[in-house]
Amino acid sequence: MSENIDETVATASKTVDSGTSVTFAELGLSEPILRALTEVGYETPSPIQAQSIPILLEGRDLLGMAQTGTGKTAAFAIPILSRLDLQNVAPQALILTPTRELALQVAEAFARYARHLSGFHVLPIYGGQSYGIQLKQLARGAHVVVGTPGRIMDHLERNSLSLAGLKTLVLDEADEMLRMGFIDDVEWILKHTPAERQTALFSATMPNDIRRVAQNYLLDPKDVKIKAATQTVAAIRQCYWQVSGLHKLDALTRILEVEEELDAAIVFVRTKLLTEELAQKLEARGYMAAALNGDMNQQARERVIEQLKAGKLDIITATDVAARGIDVPRISHVINYDIPHDAEAYVHRVGRTGRAGRTGTAILFVAPREMRMLRVIERVTGQPIEHLALPSQQAVADRRAAIFKERVAKVLTAEDLGFFETLVSDLATEQEAAPEKVAAALAFLAQKEKPLRPEEKRHAGGEFHEHLSRRSRPMGDARPPRGFPGEVAEDDRGNAVIMTRYRIEVGRNHGVAPKDIVGAIANEGNLPSRLIGRIELYGDYSTVDLPNDLSRETLQILKNAWVRRRQLNIALDDGSAPMSNARPIRKPRSYGEEGGNNWKNTTAAKPRPYRRREFE
């Protein structure tokens, strides 16, 4: 494995502008940090690290553009740790991340790099965790705080978190925070931190809103850009299979069988329900598979990832949202069972393999009418995706035979077979059969559970989609009957999701704004913002349109979630707020205009009360 790391990082380093590769020691890092890096197996800095670390050590602002998997965490964590005053246990650095998974991962990385800095304390703060615990942890103090924007803002407003001594602020995955509707919160936090702080902004893409944030809040930043060719996908073999002639499920199992380098795989599908169904089908076919989706609570998700790491699971079926940021080095294969909705999602998915300098394989299933998306992905990533011929049934049979032979060969050399030899020769005598015939009969018995010669169902003609779920049919099929009180939104693949109205016990009188509600539901309920529909604010409560099939777990989490110091106590709306069917679902992003400088404005006439009222 260490060979692999050497090779990949060295190749990548050649693209750093000077053309020479630097070492961590040459970057002027302290001995305890260098020791920790050696221990975690980092031998050379990745390109983004080689470029960012000196800039951040100097105290300058930085605007970094690089895809996932390029090593951004260490790029900001190492200089922050190097500049830390360990005597002063007050937050000196704040890292904002879009999700709690990423907050936890970044906090873990800090702890790993700081293992020889005695007394160092890092604190992850995210929605969904009880305030009681967080308040206690905050009171105890930390040198570095890593958190999601909504919850950090809450603590700043409650004065339970003080950033008076903040030296560095990092916005990690800024484009993702924008996509999830947190950009106003991020700006609010930027305004409530010391002006002389150092700011680093990392993003995989540079949409206008992010560029604007950078212009407004970064001071003469240095640009660091890691070119497409060295991004994520360099060490990853990418191919696609054009869906035809076979069920996708059969194609998947064939591929899983013949791929030689297969260790663990993550299979992406478009809905939460499909993750469950596909995992069950794979289990039924003998794979150690489990689903990973946003309906599962944090603990359940962590358990799945732990099992995958430990080799107790080999396949995870996941949605984009649930799999974001997963870092499990043994994932050798990413299977795009359903094509992603855009190139960015593809890059995020593929970034789950090829971790820690290993190589990986990404396989994309493409229906004929999805070929255009394939070309878009190739253009955006700047890399060709090769055509994959589906392994023939013969190839599967050959592979099974090879594995079978290997097992037999092992027994031949490793086991004492005396008793069985007698058994076989007795059989041969009794049946008047040649020993080969007897061996063949035994081989037949041995493979009965998993036949060496596979059989598969075939389709006739046309375009082939495996509709694993009746509930996730395309739009046309799933429209509710006329007069149904719900509306229909689309999930990330354009499939219909029926929306229904819920009531939450926080309203205009409590100073809530729609985006607070979106933030809480997106982050704590782990729902993509596109599935959060219209929000209506009333005096003491509000209504929000959400998918009608939210799991019990998600509902429980949302019941306990807090906004504006009020527990949401979400429940199906009892009808006291009339449903207006005529209006379209309003997307959360339309609340953007309410953000910005509003906090300075104290006019009581505003529909959304002035935030700072809570300080008064």
| Closer by beta carbon to Mg ion, 276 or else 320 | 320
Tell me if 44 sits within 8 A of 13, measured CB to CB: yes
CA torsion sign, 333 to 337 to 343 to 344?
negative
Smallest distance from Mg ion to CB 42, Å? 15
Tell me if 55 sits within 8 A of 202, measured CB to CB: no
CA torsion sign, 557 to 563 to 567 to 568?
negative
Neighbours of 562 (CB within 10 A): 18
Is 355 near ligand ADP (CB under 6 A)?
A: yes
Q: What tokens does 250 get?
A: 């059969």
Is 316 near ligand ADP (CB under 6 A)?
A: no
What is the separation, in whole angstroms, between the first and last Cα of the chain?
Answer: 58
Q: How far apart are CA 583 and CA 589, in angstroms?
A: 17
| Closer by beta carbon to ligand ADP, 46 or else 526 | 46
Q: What tokens does 1 get?
A: 């494995």
Tell me if 96 sits within 8 A of 151, measured CB to CB: no
Give the residue, chosen from 5, 22, 90, 452, that forms a contact with ligand ADP under the rule CB under 6 A.
5
Q: How far apart are CA 178 and CA 185, in angstroms?
A: 10
Smallest distance from ligand ADP to CB 611, Å? 31
Residue of this chain nearest to Mg ion (CB atom): 72
| Closer by beta carbon to Mg ion, 97 or else 472 | 97
Residue 323 is inside which H or E element, if any?
Answer: helix 320-323
Residue 450 amino acid letter: K
Is 69 near ligand ADP (CB under 6 A)?
A: yes
| Closer by beta carbon to Mg ion, 290 or else 323 | 323
Q: What tokens does 147 get?
A: 């958190």
Q: Which stretch in 65-73, 192-200, 252-260, 432-440 sits in contact with Mg ion by CB under 5 A?
A: 65-73
Smallest distance from ligand ADP to CB 71, Å? 3
Give the residue, chosen from 55, 72, 348, 511, that forms a contact with ligand ADP under the rule CB under 6 A.
72
| Closer by beta carbon to Mg ion, 72 or else 121 | 72
Q: Which stretch in 65-73, 174-182, 183-191, 374-382 sits in contact with ligand ADP by CB under 6 A?
A: 65-73
Smallest distance from Mg ion to CB 52, Å? 13
Three-state secondary structure call for residue 535: strand
Is 228 near ligand ADP (CB under 6 A)?
A: no
Q: How far apart are CA 130 and CA 458, in angstroms?
A: 52
Q: How many helices (H) and strands (E) does the chain have?
A: 22, 21
Q: How far apart are CA 615 and CA 402, in angstroms?
A: 71
Scanning the structure block, which residue is given the tokens 């607070």?
Answer: 516
Beta strand 198-203 with 571-572: parallel, antiparallel or unpaired?
Answer: unpaired
In degrees rounded to 5, what are phi and psi of residue 570?
A: -65, 140
Neighbours of 575 (CB within 10 A): 10
Name which of Mg ion, ligand ADP, none residue 70 binds, using a CB cut-off of 5 to 8 Å depending on partner kind: ligand ADP
- Alpha carbon distances (Å) from 400 to 394, 407, 455, 512: 10, 11, 13, 61
String of contacts with ligand ADP for each residue 258-277, x by CB under 6 A: --------------------
Is 233 near ligand ADP (CB under 6 A)?
A: no
| Closer by beta carbon to ligand ADP, 82 or else 543 | 82
Q: Which stretch in 113-121, 352-360, 371-379, 480-488 sits in contact with ligand ADP by CB under 6 A?
A: 352-360
| Closer by beta carbon to Mg ion, 72 or else 400 | 72
Please work out the total of residues on this chain that contact ligand ADP, with binding judged by CB under 6 A: 17
Smallest distance from ligand ADP to CB 39, Å? 12
Q: Half-sphere exposure of 325 toward its Cβ, with a 13 Å CA cutoff?
A: 21
Contacts to Mg ion from residues 69-98, by CB under 5 A = 72
Give the residue, chosen from 13, 21, 46, 238, that forms a contact with ligand ADP under the rule CB under 6 A.
46
| Closer by beta carbon to Mg ion, 72 or else 399 | 72
Is 327 near ligand ADP (CB under 6 A)?
A: yes
Three-state secondary structure call for residue 171: strand
Give the residue, chosen from 57, 111, 262, 356, that forms a contact with ligand ADP under the rule CB under 6 A.
356
| Closer by beta carbon to Mg ion, 225 or else 387 | 225
Is 344 near ligand ADP (CB under 6 A)?
A: no
Smallest distance from Mg ion to CB 102, Å? 6
Is 45 near ligand ADP (CB under 6 A)?
A: yes
Name which of Mg ion, ligand ADP, none residue 47 binds, using a CB cut-off of 5 to 8 Å depending on partner kind: none
Give the residue, chosen from 47, 71, 525, 547, that forms a contact with ligand ADP under the rule CB under 6 A.
71
String of contacts with ligand ADP for each residue 357-396, x by CB under 6 A: x---------------------------------------
Tell me if 313 sits within 8 A of 288, measured CB to CB: yes
| Closer by beta carbon to ligand ADP, 352 or else 399 | 352
Is 90 near ligand ADP (CB under 6 A)?
A: no
Beta strand 236-242 with 360-366: parallel, antiparallel or unpaired?
Answer: parallel
| Closer by beta carbon to Mg ion, 328 or else 428 | 328
Q: What is the DSSP letter of 566?
A: E
Three-state secondary structure call for residue 194: coil
CA torsion sign, 580 to 583 to 585 to 587?
negative
Smallest distance from Mg ion to CB 352, Å? 12
Q: How far apart are CA 335 and CA 390, in angstroms?
A: 14
- Residues interacting with Mg ion, by CB under 5 A? 72
- Residues interacting with ligand ADP, by CB under 6 A? 5, 9, 42, 45-46, 49, 68-74, 327, 355-357
